[in-house]
Chains A and B, each alone.
Chain A
Amino acid sequence: MSLSATTAPPSPAAPPSPDVPSRLRRGRLLNRLDVKYSPYLYIAPFFVIFGAFGLYPMVRTAWMSLHDWDMIGDHSFIGFDNYTRLFSDEYFWNALVNTFGIFALSTIPQLLLALFLANLLNRTFLRGKTFFRMAIFMPNVVSVAAVAIVFGMLFQREFGLFNWLLSFVGVDAVDWDGQRWSSWMAISSMVNWRWTGYNTLILLAGMQAIPKDLYEAAAIDGASQWRQFWQITLPMLKPTFIFVVILSTIGGMQLFTEPLLFANGNILGGNQRQFQTLAMYMYEMGIQNLNTAGYGAAVAWAIFMIIVVVSLFNFLLVRRSAK
């Protein structure tokens, strides 16, 4: 609206009219409004969409978590009862332990491997760089459901590839989803397979932003490759590393599809909930069990708070150790 008013070219043939000053004043006003408010208009779409699909659900979930809420029935206000119940809920703690266990098993090796690979890809002598960079990113493009189904078959008890390979070295067939340690390993291997390449690329981008003359100066001073890595690459990579760690934390705390499909779609995550993650527990309580929707909402908020705390912790840890 204001745009058309300011950009319309003045018609040269127009006869001078008595109200020129007022039109001029109006034009100036519109111009000022344009400068002042248009930027907000331009960024509005993001905030409108974020408000509708990000903020509103969060607020609504918080509201639900203060109620005894039946999805298709009544609900009544109960204050913070759902949250106090969390503390004595054995299965919530079980899901928390599972989530952190799988998170540790997947994130730590994954980031170390990504760092190693990124450093390798950053070497100048490497041929076919683009090919390797693309190849390493491929797993991330594959749909998570496809990954989970294929890995589920590899980890089968009777006809799975891994048990077949193990049989050659004389190891008995492992019931992968039967025990805690084996199911955690299977699930983290899916996560690692999918996300190592992604993290490698981000770390690689961070490495390439490090000025080359630093390395040259170090080389002239006689520093080895190893020393250059520890004393130049790692410290300079700190901001990128924090970013990668926080992203992995958010992903790890919300782990859902891989364990769900590994359990053949059973939300309990194993007969004894050996690998039920927090997100699965939230789904079980909030969406699958119709009459505990309020409690499920409290679990959702608990996950949110845990992510905030763990991210802060990571942030402080990485910042301190890199000093």
Chain B
Amino acid sequence: MSVTTRRTRLAAAALAAITAIGGLAACGNDDDKPAAGEKPAKLVVDTFGEMGYDELVKQYEKDTGIKVELRKTAQLAEYRPKLVRYLATGKGAADVTALEEGILNEFKPNARNWADLAPLVSDHSKDYLPWKWELGKAPDGRLIGLPTDVGSLAVCYRKDLFQAAGLPTERDQVSALWPDWKGFHDAGLKYKQGSGGKAFIDSITAVSNGVMFQGNGDLFYDKEDNIIADTSPAVKNAWDTATSMADISAKAQTWSPEWSGGFKQGTFAATFCPSWMLGIVSDNSGPANKGKWDVASVPGGGGNWGGSWLAVPAQSKYPQEAAKLAEYLTNAKSQVEAFKLKGPLPTNLEALKNDAFVSYTNEYFSNAPTGKIFGESVAKIQPTHLGPKHQAIKENALEPALRAFESGQADKAKAWEQFTKDAKTQGAF
């Protein structure tokens, strides 16, 4: 879900600057608080991208008689500054607000901005993927987000290029090539040899992403939210695995022109695919390459990249009713409906078992059973504690250092030094 968004981050970044500055004129809400238990005439829902709620809110209006206004923002890069403005001025936020993984993590240190949902809805702690449910909690333990969708993680690969390099092409055989990351690297080396030195994957940052989520213990923070980025074994493991892949990488930074151009040019034969990436891969590869791509499982079995939650801002006048609406939008039935409409992957355990989801295949990707592959991938993730500035450390410390190493700007020791130093400054809160 996160990411139709980051593609046009380019132009949107400039726009974000302007909207952030233009934030003086927040729309004025009348401040009279309604009496407790009073039924609201209207609830507002803020979403970004396509979450597939169009039909669901109509049904909710019919069932409850409460009007629901769905405010959609196409780009995450435009959505975030708006949210920050609502929170900074205390005005204008919707009653139910969709929070993407990165935004949620970033907002967690100021959990007071969000209503604690635990007392407002029934106990759902056993209904969702356990790791996803845990991430919806703030450091102080309050529940601020109900799980909507996940990105999951798989490997997209080019069958024609695999064949030319003498690798198997059947998706089960391909998955069997890499039960672990070592196997993945070996397959990459084999491809490099068979193809006359061509790169196997797009870049190494996706590798670190995948490894970290497989749950080998605390990452950048320990359970008390002290920064342990430089000593954490899980981070070191992700770092070593990622850096070991540099010799099979095309060194094309995700979202860069080299990267998007690489799909058509075949500069790499495999890339890491969350579910929302499938559309981007097919757009970048073009109709000419239809049927050449396929989807295999990720090394180590499980992984995730992206996904969202629904939260209720503390400034909402109807937290009780808003929480009920969020609960409705994230229940098993709704998640299946949303999946059928726009394709976000369910997180509700019951929805994940639904036939419509499990039997789903993707035509562009040689009819790969993506529903099954992605569903299995997220089921294997272990709950991991992410500290308050996890996202900032990952994006502004770990990934730049990995890229600096990958492109030869720094050797391994220098790059590690850069990472640990930046992790400390980025992680301060």
Q: Cβ of A71 and Cβ of B88 under 8 Å apart? A: yes
Question: Which residue on chain B has the smallest CB distance to residue A157?
Answer: B258
Question: Which residue on chain B has the smallest CB distance to residue A264?
Answer: B256
Task: Identify which of B109, B252, B426 contacts A158 (C-beta below 8 A).
Answer: B252
Question: Which of A72, A73, A268 gathers most chain B CB within 10 Å?
Answer: A72
Nearest CB of A to B269, in Å: 16
Q: Cβ of B410 and Cβ of A260 under 8 Å apart? A: no
Q: How far does the alpha carbon of A145 sit from the alpha carbon of B410 in the complex, in Å? A: 31
Q: How far does the alpha carbon of A267 sit from the alpha carbon of B80 in the complex, in Å? A: 15
Contacts A73-B110, A145-B11, A257-B14 given: A268-B400 contact, CB under 8 Å?
yes
Please name all residues of chain B whose beta carbon is closer than 8 Å to the beta carbon of A261 when the two chains form the complex. Answer: 10, 13-14
Nearest CB of B to A95, in Å: 14
Please name all residues of chain B whose beta carbon is closer than 8 Å to the beta carbon of A71 when the two chains form the complex. Answer: 84, 87-88
A30-38, A207-215, A286-294, A310-318: which lies at the interface: A286-294
Q: Cβ of B400 and Cβ of A271 under 8 Å apart? A: yes
Contacts A71-B84, A175-B407 given: A290-B106 contact, CB under 8 Å?
yes
B253: Cβ under 8 A from any A Cβ: yes
Q: Cβ of A264 and Cβ of B109 under 8 Å apart? A: no
Task: Identify which of B12, B88, B261 contacts A265 (C-beta below 8 A).
Answer: B12
A112: Cβ under 8 A from any B Cβ: no
Nearest CB of B to A93, in Å: 14
Nearest CB of A to B30, in Å: 23
Task: Identify which of B84, B258, B404, B418 contacts A290 (C-beta below 8 A).
Answer: B84
B257: Cβ under 8 A from any A Cβ: yes
Please name all residues of chain B whose beta carbon is closer than 8 Å to the beta carbon of A271 when the two chains form the complex. Answer: 400-401, 403-404, 407, 409
B392: Cβ under 8 A from any A Cβ: yes
Q: Cβ of B9 and Cβ of A264 under 8 Å apart? A: yes
Q: How far does the alpha carbon of A175 sit from the alpha carbon of B112 in the complex, in Å? A: 45
Within 8 A of B (CB), among A248-288: 256-257, 260-261, 264-265, 267-268, 270-272, 283, 287
Number of A-B contacts (CB under 8 A): 88
B17: Cβ under 8 A from any A Cβ: yes
Question: Which residue on chain B has the smallest CB distance to residue A70?
Answer: B110
Question: Which residue on chain B has the smallest CB distance to residue A274?
Answer: B409
Within 8 A of A (CB), among B373-429: 392, 396, 400-401, 403-404, 407-410, 418, 425-426, 429
Please name all residues of chain A whose beta carbon is closer than 8 Å to the beta carbon of B214 when the two chains form the complex. Answer: none
Q: How far does the alpha carbon of A293 sit from the alpha carbon of B196 in the complex, in Å? A: 51
Q: How far does the alpha carbon of A260 sit from the alpha carbon of B18 in the complex, in Å? A: 14
Q: Cβ of B265 and Cβ of A72 under 8 Å apart? A: no
Please name all residues of chain B whose beta carbon is closer than 8 Å to the beta carbon of A197 when the two chains form the complex. Answer: none
Q: Mark B163-179, 1 if CB is under 8 A from A, else 0.
A: 00000000000000000
B267: Cβ under 8 A from any A Cβ: yes
Chain B contact patch, size range: 35 or more
A94: Cβ under 8 A from any B Cβ: no
Q: Cβ of B409 and Cβ of A291 under 8 Å apart? A: no
Task: Identify which of A72, A158, A264, A272 contacts B84 (C-beta below 8 A).
Answer: A72
Please name all residues of chain A whose beta carbon is closer than 8 Å to the beta carbon of B87 when the two chains form the complex. Answer: 71-72
Q: How far does the alpha carbon of A70 sit from the alpha carbon of B257 in the complex, in Å? A: 35
Chain A contact patch, size range: 20 to 34
Q: Cβ of B261 and Cβ of A158 under 8 Å apart? A: yes
Q: Cβ of A158 and Cβ of B267 under 8 Å apart? A: yes
Question: Which residue on chain A has the smallest CB distance to residue B77?
Answer: A265
Q: How far does the alpha carbon of A152 sit from the alpha carbon of B113 in the complex, in Å? A: 39
Please name all residues of chain B whose beta carbon is closer than 8 Å to the beta carbon of A189 when the two chains form the complex. Answer: none
Q: Mark A155-181, 1 if CB is under 8 A from B, else 0.
A: 011110000000000000001001100
B20: Cβ under 8 A from any A Cβ: yes
Please name all residues of chain B whose beta carbon is closer than 8 Å to the beta carbon of A138 when the two chains form the complex. Answer: none
B233: Cβ under 8 A from any A Cβ: no
Q: Cβ of B409 and Cβ of A179 under 8 Å apart? A: yes
Please name all residues of chain A whose beta carbon is closer than 8 Å to the beta carbon of B11 when the two chains form the complex. Answer: 145, 149
Please name all residues of chain B whose beta carbon is closer than 8 Å to the beta carbon of A152 when the two chains form the complex. Answer: 257
Task: Identify which of A158, A265, A270, A289 contacts B392 (C-beta below 8 A).
Answer: A289
A153: Cβ under 8 A from any B Cβ: yes
Contacts A159-B261, A264-B256 given: A72-B113 contact, CB under 8 Å?
yes
Q: Cβ of B429 and Cβ of A291 under 8 Å apart? A: yes
B183: Cβ under 8 A from any A Cβ: no
Nearest CB of B to A228, in Å: 45
Please name all residues of chain B whose beta carbon is closer than 8 Å to the beta carbon of A257 when the two chains form the complex. Answer: 14
Question: Which of A91, A157, A158, A175 gathers most chain B CB within 10 Å?
Answer: A158
Please name all residues of chain A whose beta carbon is closer than 8 Å to the beta carbon of B16 when the two chains form the complex. Answer: 287
Please name all residues of chain B whose beta carbon is closer than 8 Å to the beta carbon of A157 when the two chains form the complex. Answer: 258
Q: How far does the alpha carbon of A71 sit from the alpha carbon of B90 in the complex, in Å? A: 11
Question: Which of A70, A265, A268, A270 gathers most chain B CB within 10 Å?
Answer: A265
Q: How far does the alpha carbon of A178 sit from the alpha carbon of B10 in the complex, in Å? A: 18
Within 8 A of A (CB), among B210-266: 252-253, 255-258, 261-262, 265
Question: Which residue on chain B has the smallest CB distance to residue A158?
Answer: B258
Question: Which residue on chain B has the smallest CB distance to residue A72?
Answer: B87
Q: How far does the alpha carbon of A257 sit from the alpha carbon of B12 in the complex, in Å? A: 11
Nearest CB of A to B322, in Å: 19
Q: How far does the alpha carbon of A209 sit from the alpha carbon of B72 in the complex, in Å? A: 56
Q: Cβ of A264 and Cβ of B10 under 8 Å apart? A: yes
Q: How far does the alpha carbon of A265 sit from the alpha carbon of B17 in the complex, in Å? A: 12
Question: Which residue on chain B has the smallest CB distance to residue A261?
Answer: B10
B328: Cβ under 8 A from any A Cβ: no
B360: Cβ under 8 A from any A Cβ: no
B107: Cβ under 8 A from any A Cβ: yes
Please name all residues of chain A whose beta carbon is closer than 8 Å to the beta carbon of B13 when the two chains form the complex. Answer: 260-261, 265, 267
Q: Cβ of A272 and Cβ of B113 under 8 Å apart? A: no
Please name all residues of chain B whose beta carbon is closer than 8 Å to the beta carbon of A72 when the two chains form the complex. Answer: 84, 87-88, 107, 110, 113
Question: Which of A71, A152, A156, A272 gathers most chain B CB within 10 Å?
Answer: A272
Question: Which residue on chain A has the smallest CB distance to residue B256?
Answer: A264
Contacts A72-B88, A158-B252, A272-B409 given: A153-B257 contact, CB under 8 Å?
yes
Within 8 A of B (CB), among A76-103: 91
* Interface residues of B, Cβ cutoff 8 Å to A: 9-14, 16-17, 20-21, 77, 81, 84, 87-88, 106-107, 109-110, 112-113, 252-253, 255-258, 261-262, 265, 267, 392, 396, 400-401, 403-404, 407-410, 418, 425-426, 429
Given contacts A149-B11, A158-B265, 4 further A-B contacts (CB under 8 A): A256-B17, A264-B253, A271-B403, A290-B106
* Interface residues of A, Cβ cutoff 8 Å to B: 57, 70-73, 91, 145, 149, 152-153, 156-159, 175, 178-179, 256-257, 260-261, 264-265, 267-268, 270-272, 283, 287, 289-291
* 15 residue pairs A–B, Cβ–Cβ below 8 Å: A71-B88, A159-B258, A175-B407, A256-B17, A260-B14, A261-B14, A264-B9, A265-B77, A268-B396, A271-B403, A271-B409, A272-B400, A272-B410, A290-B106, A291-B109
